[in-house]
Structure formats: structure tokens, C-alpha cells
């Protein structure tokens, strides 16, 4: 009996040792941070990989730290449990039916995913999620790492950053300079530079990439002279820093209006120091709901709180207007991959088109609401904005001042071109005009149409088959999103598209240029000038049912808008 107990005890000790050894295998101890325990996750096509989730990179931005630049998290001296992801940053997504407030104000956490087998230091990809600066998630239920980790060749970092008023409200001066969400991202870049080697990552081969508002942010970091050497390549998917939704022009006026909606006394006359302090003490639900009062119609403007031009500081992310910074010789020159999809403007336009009530209300105030949707710069007088809107109506809607069956496509195209295509063209053109040398850029258009689409999420109806490839549809093939879309069959054409598209981006992050796709010709301003309605050669992912793969990557040069020059003239 005693020997039996010893045998049982021995086996228990062995099992405990094995269990401890398994746990120790997923413990990483960056010297400047402290030990971190991770876990494993299953891949999509490949085996498991390691996941370290919910790692704090900054002190909680609450209380006195609300509306202040992030402070790097102090070192800890125990083993931090990073086996579960943290809640998203608190937000209210007004683009979905019946929006509710969810998330946490204490949300500055990052996730690190790495292959189980690492024979060398691996390139690092840092992802900035989209969501119009007011919503979005870095969690694995929406930004799932499985497809990227199947490559077994990079380390992926995703992050949460402050959103909405908490991330972007500003008094326009040093009391509340704004861009806190961008500064959170910048702190993640610094965290990675200091600590990623402990995860077998190469801190000299870091790529930042993002989609929509996340893409706008990547471009802003690229043109920011103060972010030098924090990253080495950039991927901007469906967004650039010169997009019309990228900047708040009157931040102090907006902060005072927010304060009034929060029932702060004397909001119009408080000093900016007292205004900032009063806003720090507002109940968080009251603060977020105040954003509803800044809408001029329905959900417009969809992005209320946006990045701002800051007072000069080494902490500034946007020290000058992005249009001017794009033309500066001082910002970083890095390999740059820009992505787009054909129907970018669907993110806003199709809900107006498909919702009969919204459509009728929009038509009743068409001149005013369309003008507001086009977001003419503040430098134009009301009369100039009206005249320019009439030119757009003539060009895109055949001079019909209504959304009707014959003008739906033109209406959608006008939003696509204004918010995405023209800014993309201008960003590329200015990049090539920079004196002091030419710097590599590449572009893709994702035009593969699969069985799922974000189009259904932009409106209340199932319109997946009605529209082409819309804003966010390329994300379906980059991140697994199990709470939104079911998994594709592992032998499907879509699974092949995932493998090809993910490898396309991972190769760029690894080498700084595109690999394993048809070669594209040299691009420069001379080429751009010779194609007044086009652009340099780029890659396009397209359906092709006539070949076994069911899709292909082709070289194109006909940028899908004939109106770039028109927008250029109207906005000059």
C-alpha cells in the first residue's frame, strides 16, 4: 500500500513537472517588462502557434490620465497571465443597427502571436485595426491571427488604442493636444522595438499595416518626422492621411460642444485647462453618448472625433497639415504598399441607397446632405461648395439631384472617389515628387468576389450579391473573424485566395517588395503624368473560373476612375 502511494505520488509529481514544463515553454521574460505567460491557438490550415494576449503596454488611461499622452507600463515582477484577450477599447459603433456602448476605458493592451518553431529572428508585422477612429477590435474573434500564422514566417502584433472622444478629442493646445489614439499606436511601436527580440522578433524588420482608419494612421506615422526608425515598411489598406475623414479642422469648437452636451457649466468660456479637467471628470457613458449630439444627419459625420494638427512637440504625431507633410522632404522614406478595393464608398453609400426611409430623407434635403457628405474643405465659401457639388452631380448623377435607380451607381462612385480613390492617387503622386531620391511603392486592388461581403453589415438588408467587392472585403481573406463569418472550406477557392493574399502581404513585410506574383514595371511621375486618368502598374486579385485555381493575380494599370483630374481641380 505504501509503495502504491509512492507510485501514485511519483506519477503525480511527473505529471506536475510535465505540466509545469509545458507552461514554462510559453513564458517569455523581456528584461524591460517582466515575465509573460502565453498559450497556444490552433491554426487554420497548419498546426498550433503561440499566443500572448492582453499584454499591457501603457498605464490605464483613466482618471487623471484621461486625455493625456500614454505612459509606458511599469515593469512587473511576477509572471503576467497573457492567456486571454482583453476587452476592446470602449466604443459605440453607430453604423450598426441599435448601437450600444461596450468595451473598457482601461484598454491599452496588445497581443503577440508567433510560430512554435523559430529558427531565426522573424520579421514583425504590427496591425492597426480600422473602424473610423470610433470603433474596431484587436481581439482574435474579429482580428483572428490564424491565416497569417499559417505562414509560419512572421510575428504578428495587434493592439487596442483609444477611440472616439477618448482617443481624439482636443482643445487644440497643450492642455489637451489630441491624437491620443495615434500616440497609443506609437507607444506600441516603441514597445516592440524594445521588447520583441525576447519573442524572437527582428526589431530591424518591422512593418506597420492597417485598414481604413488604421491605414490612415499608418500613413500619418509614415509622414511623421518624429517616428524615425520605429518601423521599416508600411502597408496602407483602403486609407491615406489626406482622406477627407482624416482630420478635425476645429477641435476646440468641437470640445466645447461636447462639454455642453455633457452639461458642463460655462463650456463656452472656460479656459482650455479647466475645460480639459472638467471633461476628465465626466461619466464615461455620458461622454460617449455626447457624440450623438454632434451628428448633423443620421450617422453623419460617421467619424466625429478625428486626428488633429497638434501644437509643435516631439510627441506630436501630426505636427502640420497632412497635405503639407506629404510634400515634405523630412519624413521617413520606406517601402510602401497601398491597397484598395473597387467599391470603397459602400461603407456609407449603400445604406442610404438601400434603406427606403434614409433614401427619402436624403432626397428631401439632397443639396445640403450631399454637400456635407462630400466634406468640402473649410477654405471654400458656401457658394463655392454649392457650385462644386453641382459639378459633381452633373458628372456622376447625370444632373439629377436625387438618388434613384439610374443614379445609384454614380452616387456610390462619387463617395468612393472623393473619400478613397482621389486621396490614394494624390498620395502616390506626391510620394514620387519628393526630391532627394525615389522610394519604392507598390499597389494592389483586391477584386476577388467571394460568398461573403461586408456589404450586408453596411445596411439592414442582405445585399451581398448586389454589389461588387466593397470596403473591408479584403479583410475577409486576411484575418479570421469567427463571430462575423463562418470558416471557408479548407479546399475551397477562398482558402487558396487566403493563402495567396496573406503571403503577398507577408512577403512584402519580409523583403520590402512583392514576391511570387507577376512583375510590374517601374513607376515614376513621368508615368503618372502620361496616364492622366490612370496610375502605375499594380496587382489585382480577380476571379477566374476558367483556370483550376478559380482566381488569379494580374497586372493592371487602368486605375478605376476617370475623374481623378476633376477632383484635383475642384479641390485646388
Q: Which residues are catalytic?
A: 212, 344, 471
The full length of the chain comes to: 572
| 215: three-class secondary structure by DSSP | helix
Rounded Cα gap, residues 120 and 205, in angstroms:
13
| Joined grid coordinates for residue 525 | 511621375
Rounded Cα gap, residues 317 and 312, in angstroms:
10
Strands 49-56 and 109-114: antiparallel
How much is the CA Rg of the chain, to the nearest whole Å? Answer: 24
Question: Contact 349/368 with Cβ under 8 angstroms?
Answer: no
SS (H, E, C) 232-298: CEEEEECCCCCCCCCCCCCHHHHHHHHHHHCCCCCCCCCCHHHHHHHHHCCCHHHHHHHHHHHCCEC
**Cell 483630374 maps to which residue?**
565
Cβ-based burial of 63 (10 A; exposed 0-12, middle 13-18, buried ≥19): exposed
The string over 274-294, giving b where at least 16 C-beta atoms fall within 10 Å of a residue's C-beta and e elsewhere, is ebbebbbebebeebbebbeee
Q: For residue 336, what is the enclosing H or E element?
A: strand 336-340
Rounded Cα gap, residues 157 and 454, in angstroms:
24
| Joined grid coordinates for residue 137 | 477590435
What's the DSSP call for residue 420? Answer: I
**Cell 527580440 maps to which residue?**
197
Amino acid at each position: 500500500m505504501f509503495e502504491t502511494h509512492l507510485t501514485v505520488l511519483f506519477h503525480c509529481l511527473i505529471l506536475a513537472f510535465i505540466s509545469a514544463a509545458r507552461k514554462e515553454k510559453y513564458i517569455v521574460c523581456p528584461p524591460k517588462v517582466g515575465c509573460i505567460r502565453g498559450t497556444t491557438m490552433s491554426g487554420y490550415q497548419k498546426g498550433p502557434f503561440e499566443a500572448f494576449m492582453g499584454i499591457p503596454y501603457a498605464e490605464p488611461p483613466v482618471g487623471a490620465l484621461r486625455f493625456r499622452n500614454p505612459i509606458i507600463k511599469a515593469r512587473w515582477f511576477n509572471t503576467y497571465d497573457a492567456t486571454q484577450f482583453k476587452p476592446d477599447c470602449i466604443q459605440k459603433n453607430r453604423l450598426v443597427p441599435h448601437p450600444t456602448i461596450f468595451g473598457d476605458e482601461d484598454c491599452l493592451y496588445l497581443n503577440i502571436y508567433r510560430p512554435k518553431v523559430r529558427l531565426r529572428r522573424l520579421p514583425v508585422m504590427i496591425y492597426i485595426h480600422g473602424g473610423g477612429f470610433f470603433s474596431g477590435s484587436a481581439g482574435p474573434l474579429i482580428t483572428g491571427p490564424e491565416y497569417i500564422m499559417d505562414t509560419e514566417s512572421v510575428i504578428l502584433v495587434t493592439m487596442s488604442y483609444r477611440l472616439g472622444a477618448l482617443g481624439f478629442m482636443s482643445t487644440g493646445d497643450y492642455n489637451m493636444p489630441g491624437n491620443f489614439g495615434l500616440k497609443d499606436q506609437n507607444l506600441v511601436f516603441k514597445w516592440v522595438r524594445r521588447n520583441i527580440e525576447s519573442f524572437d522578433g527582428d526589431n530591424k524588420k518591422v512593418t506597420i499595416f492597417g485598414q481604413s482608419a488604421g491605414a490612415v494612421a499608418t500613413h500619418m506615422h509614415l509622414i511623421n518626422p518624429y517616428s524615425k526608425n520605429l518601423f521599416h515598411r508600411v502597408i496602407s489598406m483602403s486609407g491615406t492621411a489626406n482622406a477627407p475623414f482624416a482630420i478635425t479642422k476645429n477641435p476646440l469648437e468641437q470640445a466645447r460642444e461636447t462639454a455642453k452636451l455633457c452639461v458642463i457649466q460655462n463650456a463656452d468660456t472656460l479656459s482650455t485647462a479647466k475645460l480639459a479637467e472638467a471633461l476628465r471628470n465626466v461619466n464615461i457613458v455620458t461622454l460617449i453618448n455626447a457624440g450623438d449630439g454632434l451628428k448633423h444627419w443620421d450617422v453623419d459625420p460617421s467619424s466625429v472625433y478625428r486626428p488633429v494638427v497638434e501644437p509643435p512637440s516631439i510627441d506630436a504625431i501630426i505636427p502640420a497639415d497632412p497635405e503639407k507633410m506629404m510634400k515634405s522632404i523630412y519624413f521617413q522614406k520606406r517601402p510602401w504598399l497601398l491597397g484598395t478595393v473597387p467599391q470603397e464608398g459602400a461603407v456609407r453609400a449603400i445604406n442610404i441607397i438601400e434603406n427606403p426611409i434614409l433614401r427619402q430623407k436624403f432626397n428631401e434635403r439632397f443639396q445640403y446632405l450631399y454637400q456635407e457628405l462630400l466634406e468640402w474643405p473649410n477654405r471654400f465659401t458656401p457658394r463655392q461648395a454649392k457650385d462644386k457639388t453641382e459639378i459633381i452631380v452633373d458628372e456622376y448623377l447625370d444632373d439629377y439631384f436625387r438618388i434613384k435607380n439610374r443614379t445609384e451607381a454614380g452616387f456610390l462612385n462619387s463617395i468612393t472617389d472623393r473619400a478613397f480613390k482621389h486621396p490614394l492617387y494624390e498620395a502616390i503622386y506626391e510620394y514620387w515628387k519628393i526630391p532627394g531620391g525615389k522610394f519604392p511603392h507598390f499597389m494592389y486592388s483586391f477584386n476577388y468576389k467571394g460568398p461573403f461581403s461586408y456589404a450586408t453589415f453596411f445596411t439592414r438588408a442582405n445585399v451581398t450579391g448586389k454589389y461588387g467587392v466593397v470596403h473591408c472585403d479584403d479583410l475577409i481573406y486576411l484575418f479570421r473573424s469567427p463571430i462575423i463569418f463562418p470558416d471557408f472550406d479548407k479546399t475551397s477557392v477562398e482558402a487558396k485566395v487566403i493563402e495567396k493574399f496573406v503571403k503577398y502581404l507577408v512577403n512584402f513585410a519580409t523583403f520590402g517588395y512583392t514576391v511570387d506574383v507577376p512583375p510590374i514595371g517601374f513607376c515614376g511621375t513621368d508615368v503618372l503624368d502620361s496616364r492622366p486618368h490612370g496610375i502605375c502598374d499594380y496587382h489585382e486579385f480577380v476571379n477566374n473560373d476558367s483556370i483550376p485555381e478559380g482566381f488569379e493575380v494580374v497586372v493592371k494599370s487602368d486605375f478605376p476612375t476617370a475623374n481623378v483630374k476633376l477632383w484635383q481641380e475642384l479641390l485646388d
